Amino acid sequence: MKRLWAPWRIEYILDKNKNDRCLFCEVSRKIGNRADSTRDRKNMVLFRSTCSFVMLNRYPYNSGHLMVVPYVHAPDFGGLSDDVLFDLIKTVDRSVNALREALSPDGFNIGLNMGKVAGAGMESHMHIHVVPRWTGDTDSMPIVSETRVVPEHLKKTYAKILKIIRK
C-alpha cells in the first residue's frame, strides 16, 4: 500500500472555528500600521500592497498556488473601489512575475470562484487564484482517488517565492 502525506491538512481538519469567521479578514489584520512578520509567515502571507495581499494557498491545486486578496471584505467586484480593483490586478501581475522567476512554470490559471456553486470556499470574501502550470502536470489522481499530488512542501515553496516577490 502506498501512502500520500499532506501534513498541512490536519490544521484545517481539526479547526473547530473554521466556519465562524472570515479567514481572509483574520489574515489581513495588521498590528497598528504595520504587518506582523511572524504572523505573516505563519499565515503564509508573501506580500502586502496598499489594498491587497498575497498568500500561499494551504490546500493548493499545484505548487505555488497563490491567492490575491483585497483587504476589503466583499463577495464580488461590486464591493470594491476603482483604487482597490487597480491594486488587486497590479498585485496579481506582481504574483505572476514572482512565480515565473521562482518556479519557471509553462503557464498559469488565473481565476475567481464567486458563489458556493462556483466552488468558492470563502464565498463572502472575493479573491483571485493564481496557479502556476507545467506541461504534463496533470495526472489521474484527482479523478481516481480525489487526491492531489503536490511535489514540494509548502514551506519550501513559500521561501522560494518570498525572496522574489518582496524585491
Q: Which domains does the chain have, with CATH numbers?
A: 22-165 (3.30.428.10)
Whole-model pTM above 0.75? yes
Identify the residue with better confidence: 89 or 115: 89
Closest CA to 150 of 23, 21, 59, 45: 59
User: Could you tell me the pLDDT band of residue 143, with boundaries at 50, 70 and 90?
Assistant: very low
User: Could you tell me the pLDDT band of residue 69, with boundaries at 50, 70 and 90?
Assistant: very high
The pLDDT mean for the chain works out to 82
Residues 24 and 73: beta-carbon distance below 8 Å: yes
Query: Does the structure show a pLDDT above 70 at 3?
Result: no
